[in-house]
């Protein structure tokens, strides 16, 4: 509950209003049977004026309870919605601060479930808290005490009922808590499976895997359904069980009252209020049981949200560091890196220095660590050993905004967001002018298809950018990367979906229009980096060679093998020039 306290402080007036409404509603409810008892006593002595007076009071108490209940629901809803919204925003902000390792630890499906399903459970819990949790103890204690006062000699009856119901309720809650945990975990699995399947729908259809995916989904869905049914069984059983206990106690008391009515004739007027208090006590226990179940479920969700909020980001920036402009040099000083869940080093003892305004190529076989190298420069991960410097400064001593303004990373997998072309490009620079958007799209060779749209940069980007081809998405990603004219631009195999002509035009535009930018091009094809000032050759996570294309052909066996292999594929038509 501690993660809710900071947010609850923002709703002090609403909390006070909800509590006052609860107190008024609870005391009005408790006093009604007492007024009913007075009416019955007045009827026995034929006191019509007292019957009328008490009848009016009974109606007034009912109206007060209804009005107080309306205000209570209003304030409770305002608190629940507000606190949950604030907590959701806090959680989302926390997720945005996570490194890639943190995201992978939770999985995107799990984080999505926590932001939606778990937040709904917390909202339900908050509603219950301010509608019932404070009201139930008052009703429970009040009806219990008043029942004993009404017929003192049967004080043991409500005690017996409470003892039996609490015993059954405790046993049920113990079983349901584990089911709630399993339910939320299975929701994570469902969310992850659906997300992966929809994102990879082309792969599924290409390999005719629809039936297999349906079977996998159905298996998880059936398990979730079984859990829901089990939870439903417990819910459906607990209320009849509680009511059975209460009615047995009421029947026992009425039987005892009936056998002793001659010695206690006044019991005739108190049987009805007594039964009302017992039923009110039962109602309070039933609602209390539902409250406990809601809290049990909400507590599971709170723990899952707390797990996110209490997770420290693997990559921490020095926010006290000043914002500054850095020169365009890049230096790796004996850098090694192992992924959090990995055992083997992805990069081992990498050292090199790139001077400002150079164009650098990075090549190597699949799995040699090229993309990891790029992600370390953008500080999506921190190196396991060694230092990375930009402009001569260690990345760990640089303010986050300074780093993001200095380094622009364009990934191979082009990801665009729902909105417009302009809104996607402005993610690279939020205040980019129309001229800057046009210039960036020209560099990325995206103007030729943007100009075909009547609305040009206002053209809609559909969900998962389904209305663009792979090459178009890559060109828009490149435009987004260059729109801010970053000091350092990293293209992580981000021209792989372009034809040879478009790729060549992009590289020529980069050389001509971004002369003051240090550009790092990571590519599978050597032809993509052939004209670079310097080429880094990676092999199994090690930097095995560095130099120009002509130098490497003479001095690097690994580079020569990659080059010869690709030339052979070109001749066979397997690799586009």
Per-residue model confidence as pLDDT tens for the chain (577 residues)? 688 888 999 999 999 999 999 889 888 888 887 787 778 778 777 788 888 888 888 889 889 989 998 999 999 999 999 999 999 999 999 988 887 778 878 877 788 889 988 999 999 999 988 887 777 888 888 888 888 888 888 888 888 888 888 888 788 777 777 787 888 788 888 887 887 787 777 677 666 778 888 888 888 888 888 888 888 888 777 778 888 888 888 888 888 888 877 777 776 777 777 888 888 888 887 777 777 778 878 888 899 999 999 988 888 887 788 888 888 899 999 999 998 877 888 999 999 999 998 999 999 888 888 989 999 998 888 899 999 999 889 998 888 888 888 899 988 788 888 889 899 899 888 888 989 999 999 988 888 889 998 988 899 988 777 888 888 888 899 999 888 888 999 998 888 778 778 888 888 888 888 888 899 999 888 888 888 899 999 998 999 999 999 999 989 998 998 888 888 776 666 555 4
For residue 149, what are its two tokens? 């006062």
**Rounded distance between C-alpha atoms, residue 541 and residue 558, angstroms:** 13
The pLDDT assigned to 206 comes to 67
For residue 397, what are its two tokens? 């001593």
Q: What is the DSSP letter of 213?
A: H
Dihedral pair phi/psi, residue 489, rounded to 5°: -120, 125
User: How many Cα atoms sit within 13 Å of 260 on the Cβ side?
Assistant: 13
Superfamily of the domain at 330-572: P-loop containing nucleotide triphosphate hydrolases (3.40.50.300)
The pLDDT assigned to 577 comes to 46
Structure-derived torsion over alpha carbons of residues 522, 523, 526, 528, reported in degrees to the nearest 10:
-90
Strand partners, 332: 352, 388
Per the CB < 8 A criterion, the answer to whether 388 and 333 are in contact is yes
**Rounded distance between C-alpha atoms, residue 167 and residue 159, angstroms:** 12
Distances (CA, A) of 335 to 332, 344, 399, 537: 6, 14, 21, 15
5-309 adopts what CATH topology?
Answer: ABC transporter transmembrane region fold (1.20.1560)
Edge-to-edge strand list for the sheet holding 542-547: 407-410, 488-492, 518-522, 359-364, 534-539, 542-547
**Rounded distance between C-alpha atoms, residue 354 and residue 535, angstroms:** 10
Strand partners, 490: 409, 520
Domain locations along the chain: 5-309, 330-572
């Amino acid at each position: 509950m501690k993660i809710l306290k900071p947010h609850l402080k923002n709703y002090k007036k609403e909390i006070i209003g909800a509590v006052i409404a609860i107190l008024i509603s609870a005391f009005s409810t408790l006093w009604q049977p007492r007024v009913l008892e007075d009416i019955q006593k007045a009827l026995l002595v034929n006191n019509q004026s007292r019957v009328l007076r008490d009848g009016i009071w009974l109606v007034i108490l009912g109206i007060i309870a209804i009005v107080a209940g309306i205000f209570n629901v209003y304030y409770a809803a305002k608190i629940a919605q507000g606190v949950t919204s604030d907590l959701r925003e806090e959680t989302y902000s926390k997720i945005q601060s996570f490194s890639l390792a943190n995201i992978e630890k939770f999985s995107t499906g799990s984080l999505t479930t926590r932001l939606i399903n778990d937040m709904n459970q917390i909202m339900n819990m908050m509603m219950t808290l301010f509608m019932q949790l404070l009201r139930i103890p008052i009703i429970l204690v009040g009806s219990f005490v008043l029942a004993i006062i009404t017929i003192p000699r049967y004080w043991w009856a409500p005690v017996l009922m409470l003892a039996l119901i609490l015993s059954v309720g405790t046993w049920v809650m113990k079983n349901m808590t584990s089911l709630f945990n399993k339910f939320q975990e299975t929701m994570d699995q469902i969310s992850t499976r659906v997300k992966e399947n929809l994102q990879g729908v082309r792969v599924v259809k290409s390999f005719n895997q629809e039936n297999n995916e349906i079977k996998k989904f159905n298996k998880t869905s059936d398990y979730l359904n079984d859990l829901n049914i089990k939870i439903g069984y417990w819910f459906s059983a607990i209320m009849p069980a509680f009511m059975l206990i209460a009615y047995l106690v009421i029947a026992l008391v009425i039987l005892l009252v009936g056998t002793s009515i001659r010695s206690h004739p006044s019991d005739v007027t108190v049987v009805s209020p007594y039964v009302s208090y017992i039923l009110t006590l039962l109602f309070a226990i039933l609602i209390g049981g539902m409250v406990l179940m809601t809290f049990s479920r909400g507590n599971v969700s709170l723990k899952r949200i707390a797990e996110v909020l209490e997770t420290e980001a693997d990559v921490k920036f020095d926010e006290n560091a000043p914002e500054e402009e850095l020169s365009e040099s890049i230096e790796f000083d004996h850098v090694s890196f192992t992924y959090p869940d990995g055992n083997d080093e992805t990069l081992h003892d990498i050292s090199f220095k790139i001077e400002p305004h150079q164009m650098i190529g990075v090549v190597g076989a699949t799995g040699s660590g090229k993309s990891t190298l790029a992600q370390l420069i953008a500080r999506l991960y921190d190196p396991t050993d060694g230092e990375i410097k930009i402009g001569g400064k260690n990345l760990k001593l640089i303010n986050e905004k300074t780093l993001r303004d200095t380094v622009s990373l364009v990934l191979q997998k082009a990801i665009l967001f729902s909105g417009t072309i302009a809104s996607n490009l402005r993610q690279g620079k939020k205040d980019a002018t129309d001229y800057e958007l046009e210039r960036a799209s020209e560099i990325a060779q995206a103007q030729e298809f943007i100009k075909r749209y009547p609305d040009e940069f206002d053209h809609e980007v559909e969900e998962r950018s389904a209305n663009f081809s792979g090459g178009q998405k890559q060109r828009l990603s490149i435009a987004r990367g260059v729109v801010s004219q970053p000091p350092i631009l990293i293209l992580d195999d981000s021209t792989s979906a372009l034809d040879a002509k478009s790729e060549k035009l992009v590289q020529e535009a980069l050389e001509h229009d971004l002369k003051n930018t240090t550009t790092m091009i990571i590519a599978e094809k050597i032809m993509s980096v052939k004209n670079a000032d310097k080429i880094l050759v990676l092999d199994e996570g090690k930097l095995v060679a560095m130099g120009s294309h002509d130098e490497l052909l003479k001095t690097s066996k690994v580079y020569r093998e990659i080059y010869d292999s690709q030339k052979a594929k070109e001749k066979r038509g397997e690799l586009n020039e």
